[in-house]
Amino acid sequence: MSSLAVTDHGPASATAGVWREETLLGLIRQAKQASRETGVEVLCGVEANVVSCRGQLDVSAEIYRRLDILAVGLHRGLAVGRGAGASRDRVKNTQTLLACLARHPVDVITHPGHLFQIDLKELAEAANHTDTALEVNSRHGAVDESFIDAAAEHGVRFWCGSDAHHPRRVGDVQAGMSLARRAGLPPGRVANTKAAFTGIGSEQGER
C-alpha cells in the first residue's frame, strides 16, 4: 500500500468520529508524522455531516481547507433526516446534496442512496460538473451494478471506501472494488486506484 486516507465522521455524528472539529487539526499532524515514519502517504480528511437543507456542514471551511479530503454524506438523525418519511423525500435529499456541491469543494459524496433516496441522474450530473466522486461503499452495500452503470453514463468518477469504523477494517475496500469490477468500471474511473493516479485505463475502455 502506498497511500491511505482516513476520513473520520464529523462532530455532529452521535456515535462515531471526532467530537470537535478542532480535533481534526491534531489528526493532520498525526497523519504527517505517520507518513514520515512509515513511508506510506497518510492523507487526513473528514466525512462531514450535512446539517441543513441549504447544504451546511458540521465542519467549517476554515478547517476543511486544511484537510486533504472533504467527504460529505447524509446521515440519520441530523437536520435533513428528521421527520417521518424524510429519508424518502427524494427531491429534498437530492437538492440538499446539490447545495453541498455548490457551497463546498466536496471530493466525494459518501454512500449515495444509503438510507436517503436520491435522484441519481441529477446527483451524478452535478458531481461530474464539480469533479466530485461518488463512493462505492464497502460496508453498506447501498449501490449495485445498475446504480454504478447509470451514474457512469454521466461521466462521474467513483471512489471505493471501506467505511471502516474499526482500525482492523481500514483499507478494506474489497467489496467495493469487486462491485466496481462487476459493473464494468475501468480502473481509471475509480479515483483511489493506482490506475487513476497514473492514467492507466482512463482512456481505453472509458464510457
- Strand, helix or coil for residue 61: helix
Other C-beta atoms within 10 Å of 135: how many? 25
58 near Zn ion, judged by CB under 5 A = no
How many amino acids of this chain bind Zn ion (CB under 5 A)? 3
Contacting range for Zn ion; rule: CB under 5 A; set: 29-37, 120-128, 158-166, 197-205: 158-166
Give the nearest distance from C-beta 165 to Zn ion in angstroms: 6
Residue 141 grid coordinates: 452495500
Contacting range for Zn ion; rule: CB under 5 A; set: 38-46, 65-73, 147-155, 184-192: 65-73
Give the nearest distance from C-beta 17 to Zn ion in angstroms: 8
Q: Which is nearer to Zn ion, 57 or 201 (CB)?
A: 57
Give the nearest distance from C-beta 51 to Zn ion in angstroms: 14
Chain centroid offset of residue 207 CA? 22
The alpha carbon torsion through 153, 104, 141, 1 (nearest 10 deg) reads: 100
Distance CA 104, CA 63 (A): 12
Nearest-Å Rg of the Cα atoms of the chain is 16
Binding to Zn ion in span 69-128, by CB under 5 A: 73, 110
Binding to Zn ion in span 159-188, by CB under 5 A: 163
Instruction: Find residue 137's DSSP bridge partners.
Output: 161
Comparing every residue's Cβ against Zn ion, the nearest one is 73
Q: Which is nearer to Zn ion, 111 or 186 (CB)?
A: 111
Give the nearest distance from C-beta 183 to Zn ion in angstroms: 21
Distance CA 119, CA 93 (A): 8
- According to DSSP, residue 14 is labeled S
Give the nearest distance from C-beta 7 to Zn ion in angstroms: 9
Residue 84 grid coordinates: 417521518
Q: Which is nearer to Zn ion, 147 or 201 (CB)?
A: 147
Contacting range for Zn ion; rule: CB under 5 A; set: 67-75, 117-125, 185-193, 194-202: 67-75
For 21, phi then psi, to 5°, come to: -65, -25
Residues near Zn ion (CB under 5 A) are 73, 110, 163
